[in-house]
């Protein structure tokens, strides 16, 4: 095969064969198909799409580019959750220990944030000493004999083709397309070795999928891929027009997760955590009654402490705080009708919570604290947001992102308000 022929075939709207796909991914992993060729192919796929057979072959090839972990010899069943990415989505933090408290092993191989969406590893790294890189043996040990929940970086040997391709897509405007998202997520999750997988597919302004119909198609594609590769996969569609919870940013989101693990925290975060935990525990074949109680009575918090300590985290150390803050006030009185997740995510990113290039570091303390959410009454001059950063020169850019993020209505609100994380 020649890369240029494969690109031209997709450019002209034709179906790629399994052989062509296998060859392309293999050659790309080895560096024989170069980045500019893969970029062109990704754009052709973005514009022309792929059918189910092509997506399956593409996923299989990405999976075959690396190792596949196998937890079948563990003494417990495994289940994992994957979110397609959102703003303020810290659910993995309370969820892993909560599910582990029910005797289910949770091998959460996670990523870092890029652009306006946060990454679980960046959040946990706000905890002094916490270590994201574990060997496959360590993961196995922690699942079988340790806390039973592990959040760590995917090793370089899991779906290496995706690692390269994802970085390329991010810089070539080829992220938001179903074949590439579905194969990217599922190749990593299948390689991770979980037996059951619950997908939280986000819909709305802060998600890759802005429309419910697209999100449904993405969810169905991933559920089908799970079935193809023997991973029991289910999916929820949840709202991401509004940020989840009251914090966006790394240490800020850890703080809020601790509130949830202590039996408090914002209702949208608690409700989605409980819903996903029940789904995972059931998928693993265990009894899911009493999930909410496990947040109240400290069982989930005990697991959290074990999990953080096991990865070197100083579980009682104070979390980092940003050096500078600035408050944003409501300009009018009334009911908050909407709060745009994308704009709040971009503001947090500008403040230093996210990165522009993969090699950038993030500020642990940076982000946006939210004081009132859609559905709440607010009076002019009362606080809406507190911005946190170590680089105060970024306040202006963050304020610009937030300038149109909140809609306030003086009169009655028609049609009701959907809370962040609501199942659609
Ligand atoms: N998350 C991934 O891992 N891959 C994508 O393509 C999109 C979100």
Ligand 1 contact, 341 CB (< 6 A): no
H-run or E-run covering 239: strand 232-239
Strand partners, 406: 339
Beginning with the edge strand found earlier in the chain, give each strand of the sheet holding 196-203 in spatial order.
Answer: 79-83, 196-203, 232-239
Distance 82 CA to ligand 1 centre (A): 10
Residues 106 and 93 sit within 8 Å (Cβ to Cβ)? no
205: Cβ–Cβ under 8 A, 6 or more apart, which residues? Answer: 240, 241, 340, 341, 342, 343
Residue 216, pLDDT score: 97
CA of 184, closest atom in ligand 1: 4
Residue 118, pLDDT score: 79
Ligand 1 contact, 218 CB (< 6 A): no
End-to-end CA distance of the chain: 44
Nearest protein CA to atom 2 of ligand 1, as residue: 185
Q: Residues 124-183: pLDDT tens digits?
A: 999 999 999 999 899 999 999 999 999 999 888 899 999 899 889 988 889 889 999 999
Ligand 1 contact, 166 CB (< 6 A): yes
List, for the chain, all residue ranges whose pLDDT scores fall below the cut of 70.
114
Q: Which of 160, 208, 219, 221 to mutate to test the pocket of ligand 1 (most atoms within 8 A of CB)?
A: 208
Distance 359 CA to ligand 1 centre (A): 18
Domains within the chain, CATH numbers bracketed: 3-49 (1.20.970.10), 79-310 (3.40.1030.10), 324-409 (3.90.1170.30)
In whole angstroms, what is the distance from residue 303 CA to residue 308 CA? 9
Nearest protein CA to atom 7 of ligand 1, as residue: 181
410: Cβ–Cβ under 8 A, 6 or more apart, which residues? Answer: 332, 333, 334
Residue 393, pLDDT score: 97
Ligand 1 contact, 85 CB (< 6 A): yes
In whole angstroms, what is the distance from residue 359 CA to residue 167 CA? 11
Distance 55 CA to ligand 1 centre (A): 14
Residue 4, pLDDT score: 98
Residue 297, pLDDT score: 97
Nearest protein CA to atom 3 of ligand 1, as residue: 185
CA of 185, closest atom in ligand 1: 3
Residue 95, pLDDT score: 98
CA of 85, closest atom in ligand 1: 8
Ligand 1 contact, 181 CB (< 6 A): yes
CA dihedral 92→97→100→106, nearest 10 degrees, is 40
Nearest protein CA to atom 8 of ligand 1, as residue: 84
Distance 274 CA to ligand 1 centre (A): 24
User: Strand 232-239 relative to strand 196-203: parallel, antiparallel, unpaired?
Assistant: parallel
Residue 167, pLDDT score: 84
Instruction: State yes or no: ipTM above 0.90.
Output: yes
Distance 364 CA to ligand 1 centre (A): 23
Nearest protein CA to atom 6 of ligand 1, as residue: 181
Indicate which residues carry an active-site annotation. Answer: 82, 162, 169, 184, 188
Distance 84 CA to ligand 1 centre (A): 6
């Amino acid at each position: 095969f020649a890369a240029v022929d494969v690109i031209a075939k997709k450019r002209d709207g034709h179906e790629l064969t399994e052989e062509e796909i296998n060859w392309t991914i293999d050659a790309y992993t080895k560096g024989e198909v170069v980045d500019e060729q893969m970029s062109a192919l990704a754009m052709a796929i973005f514009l022309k799409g792929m059918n189910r057979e092509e997506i399956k072959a593409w996923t299989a090839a990405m999976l075959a580019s690396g190792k596949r972990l196998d937890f079948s010899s563990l003494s417990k069943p495994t289940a994992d959750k994957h979110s397609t990415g959102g703003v303020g989505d810290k659910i993995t933090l309370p969820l892993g220990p909560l599910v582990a408290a029910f005797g289910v092993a949770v091998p959460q191989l996670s990523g870092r944030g890029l652009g306006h969406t946060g990454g679980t590893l960046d959040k946990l790294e706000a905890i002094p000493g916490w270590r994201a890189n574990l060997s496959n043996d360590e993961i196995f040990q922690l699942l079988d004999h340790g806390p039973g929940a592990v959040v760590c970086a995917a090793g370089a040997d899991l779906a290496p083709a995706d690692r390269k391709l994802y970085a390329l897509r991010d810089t070539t405007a080829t992220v938001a397309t179903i074949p590439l998202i579905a194969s990217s997520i599922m190749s990593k999750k299948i390689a991770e070795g979980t037996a059951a997988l619950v997908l939280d597919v986000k819909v709305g302004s802060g998600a890759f999928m802005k429309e419910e119909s697209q999100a449904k198609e993405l969810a169905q594609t991933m559920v089908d891929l799970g079935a193809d590769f023997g991973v029991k996969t289910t999916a929820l569609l949840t709202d991401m027009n509004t940020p989840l919870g009251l914090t966006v940013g790394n240490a800020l989101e850890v703080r809020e997760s601790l509130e949830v693990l202590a039996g408090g925290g914002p209702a949208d975060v608690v409700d989605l955590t409980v819903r996903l935990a029940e789904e995972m525990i059931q998928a693993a074949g265990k009894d899911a009654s009493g999930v909410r109680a496990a947040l109240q009575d400290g069982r989930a918090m005990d697991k959290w402490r074990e999990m953080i300590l096991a990865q070197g985290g100083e579980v009682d150390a104070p979390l980092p705080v940003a050096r500078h803050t600035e408050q944003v006030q409501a300009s009018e009185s009334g009911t908050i009708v909407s709060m745009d997740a994308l704009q709040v995510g971009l503001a947090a990113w500008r403040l230093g919570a996210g990165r522009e290039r993969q090699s950038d570091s993030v500020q642990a303390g940076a982000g946006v604290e939210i004081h009132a959410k859609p559905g709440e009454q607010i009076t002019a001059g009362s606080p809406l947001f507190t911005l946190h950063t170590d680089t105060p020169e970024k306040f202006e850019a963050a304020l610009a992102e937030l300038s149109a993020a909140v809609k306030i209505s003086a009169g009655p609100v028609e049609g009701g308000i959907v809370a962040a994380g609501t199942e659609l």
